[in-house]
A and B are shown apart, each in its own frame.
Chain A
Amino acid sequence: MADTSILLVEDERDLLELLKYNLDREGYAVRTAETGEEALKQVRSDPPDLILLDLMLPAMDGLEVCRSLKSRDATADVPVIMLTAKGEESDIVRGLELGADDYVTKPFSPRVLMARIQAVLRRAEAMTVPGPTRVHEAGRVHVDLDRHEASADGQAVDLTATEFKLLTLLVSKPGRVFTRQQIIESIHEGFAAVTDRSVDVQVVALRRKLGHAGKSIETIRGVGYRFRED
């Protein structure tokens, strides 16, 4: 894994030091930046495999850095995990909608963070495999796009078109949190006037139909939904 590089953007020196130690120990090649501007400069000259980005940075903040990265083709695909100490979910939602892949709230456990990094790297790698995946398998749920079939614990589940799209989206990236806005855009292709509330209603219906496996769909309060990785 020594060839996997991670850019760590954090202005709190003590945390920077601790994270660097943990990442080093996991075998990643670690680079650091203490400001948003410095981070952008580094990413542009040599994109890392993943960016750990603190949102609360002096001058140019993390959301700004994320927006800038995702708006350029050369850097848009670099996975971003946000580090945030803010109690407000609105920043997390904004970050996810800007294209960040995951987030961890302070205080966090270094071990959990390392696991998240691995998951995001794994998903990023899966994305680079040629050809779209036609079959998704996550936990006890199986989705076959060609046959338009879904099953939970080996039992076929009868879903509406919207529920099927919702389930496909969630299991396509297990562990990733989708905001309600992202779900609306993905399942309704943007034209229907759908509210956040109707997403909640769809999720409740889907969970019920999935039975025990429905518990894998987690509500992330104030942010959105995700399919839990097992």
Chain B
Amino acid sequence: MTTWVLSILLAAALIALAVLAVAHRRQLRLLRTLRRSDQQLTTQLRQRLVSESARRNELEALLGSMAEGVVAVDSSGGLLNLNRAAAAMLRLDRNRTLGQPMQENIRNSRVQEMLSTTLTEGAALQDEFELAIPGESLDRPHVIQAQTAPLHDGDGERIGALAVLHDVTQVRRLESVRRDFVANVSHEVKTPVAAIKAAVETLLDDHAGTMSRDDAVRFLRIVVRQADRLDAIVEDLLALARIEQSELADAEGMEAEAVAPVLRSAVETCQAKADEKQIAVRIECDPALRAHMRTNLIEQAVVNLVDNAVKYSPEQTTVRVHAFTEGDDAVIAVTDQGRGIEPVHLERIFERFYRTDRARSRMLGGTGLGLSIVKHVMEAHRGRVSVDSKPGTGSTFRLHLGAASDGHAAAGSAAIPPAA
């Protein structure tokens, strides 16, 4: 009996122990799980923090790399964020001004006004104004296009305002260049047309027949001369348009072509005018010299340079057309012994219709577009044109092209035998 009871008790104790053990194990497991999830939580939290700061960094990097200036203010006008471009435009120190009221920091009144209006009225605004950038000339303020917009949180509550500042100086400059070009074309075209019309009407108005034959011939000559001038202007404008088109078409590689034949052909075109003034045009070019180019365009550029050289040189002088390699460049240099160009004009002579002496240029049949065409030809070749000039001594214009690296080009750069 007692053994029976004892065994029952023992069994009960064993069961209890087992239950306890199971419970304990479960507890342990639970604890372990808890610990694990705690760790997970921490890791997740840490990860989230890392990704938060990564996102913030990302945002900073994004804003920082923007060319546009970005300024954000809270609803009370405190500076929330400011990217590098905005700091530079508004002369603000990013570290010191964040959290500060914008009224005391943004000194540009237009930006401040726009932000204030957007804050109070919730309206998006756009405006354009000039802004002097520190460290740059005050004469050339930047043109800034500013846009402001209200900032809303997830619930649609207005929490501040954002300003984006866009520097449109270059765009406006190009627009004004184009406008000037149109105005110039109109002037350049209307002047010969005015002379032709005036000449013809003067001839027609001679009802009484009192005009002398000499006068009549004189006026008819004006008509011919001005018609030629109009034709030359149209030709040059068409040439410019063609070159601009090929600038787009030939973005990728041009064929390597021999330079010497191009020079010979260009000089041939100018030969008659040179002969009239007994000017000798000498070509010096290694027959093996090759450059990446469109031969018809380069020929046009060389014709324009040689034509100018002949026009502005006294009689019985020499014009030298010399091609050689210089580093990776093939260079075509046209040197004259002419009147030279005053330093004040040097920077502008490649502009369309810019003339150092209008009356003289017209008398010589110039359109004011020759050098501009040369410049565009070189731009189409990803090359450049440069000039050296001394008044009274002469000028040298150089065309820099990519030389063909097929061995021929680099070889004979030291001593080039004159050709033709």
Contact = CB atoms under 8 A, between A and B. Distances in A.
Given A86-B187, A106-B194, A14 B199 contact: yes
Contacts of A125: none
A88 B66 CA distance: 38
Interface in B179-229: 182-183, 186-187, 190-191, 193-199, 201-202, 205, 215, 218-219, 222, 225-226
A221 interface: no
Contacts of B357: 58
A221 to B, nearest CB: 16
Contacts of A14: 195, 199, 222, 225-226
A56 B358 CA distance: 11
Nearest to B187: A85
B187 A56 contact: yes
A56 B353 CA distance: 13
A107 B222 contact: no
A18 B194 CA distance: 10
Contact of A106 (B182, B191, B202): B191
Nearest to B215: A21
Nearest to B198: A18
Given A15-B195, A18-B222, 13 more contacts: A11-B359, A14-B222, A14-B225, A18-B219, A21-B215, A22-B202, A88-B183, A106-B190, A107-B193, A107-B196, A108-B198, A109-B197, A109-B201
Contacts of B46: none
Question: Which 5 A-B pairs rank lowest in CB-CB distance, beginning with the nearest?
Answer: A106-B194, A107-B194, A85-B190, A87-B186, A107-B197
Task: Name the residue among A12, A19, A58, A86 with the largest chain B CB count within 10 angstroms.
Answer: A12
Contacts of A56: 187
Given A14-B225, A14-B226, A21 B187 contact: no
B362 interface: yes
A11 B186 CA distance: 17
B187 A110 contact: no
Interface string B262-283: 0000000000000000000000
B193 to A, nearest CB: 5
Contact of B205 (A19, A87, A108, A110): A110
A108 to B, nearest CB: 7
Contact of A15 (B183, B186, B194, B359): B194
Interface string A13-33: 111011101100000000000
Interface residues of B, number: 27
A12 B201 contact: no
Contacts of B226: 14
A19 B359 CA distance: 18
A111 interface: yes
A124 B198 CA distance: 26
B198 A15 contact: yes
B359 A85 contact: no
A34 interface: yes
A97 B50 CA distance: 68
Contacts of B225: 14
11 contacts: A11-B358, A18-B199, A21-B202, A22-B198, A85-B187, A85-B190, A87-B187, A107-B190, A107-B193, A107-B197, A111-B205
A58 B222 contact: no
B414 to A, nearest CB: 46
Interface residues of A, number: 23
Contacts of B196: 107
Chain B contact surface mostly:
helix
Interface string A55-90: 010100000000000000000000000000111100
Contacts of B218: 17
A106 B193 contact: yes
B183 A86 contact: yes
Task: Name the residue among A13, A14, A17, A88 with the largest chain B CB count within 10 angstroms.
Answer: A14
Contacts of B190: 85, 87, 106-107
B359 A58 contact: yes
Interface string A166-185: 00000000000000000000
Contacts of A11: 358-359
B191 A85 contact: yes
Interface in B323-351: none
Contacts of B202: 18, 21-22, 110
Given A86-B186, A88-B183, A19 B198 contact: yes
Nearest to B226: A14
A11 B190 CA distance: 14
A19 B218 CA distance: 13
Contacts of B359: 11, 13, 34, 58
Nearest to B179: A88
Nearest to B219: A18
Contact of A12 (B182, B183, B191, B205): B191
B222 A17 contact: yes
A88 B193 CA distance: 17
A90 to B, nearest CB: 10
Interface string A88-102: 100000000000000
Nearest to B196: A107
Contacts of A86: 183, 186-187
Interface string A118-156: 000000000000000000000000000000000000000
B380 to A, nearest CB: 29
Given A14-B226, A15-B194, A110 B201 contact: yes
B201 to A, nearest CB: 5
Task: Name the residue among B195, B197, B205, B357 with the largest chain A CB count within 10 angstroms.
Answer: B195
A85 B186 contact: yes
Contacts of B186: 85-87
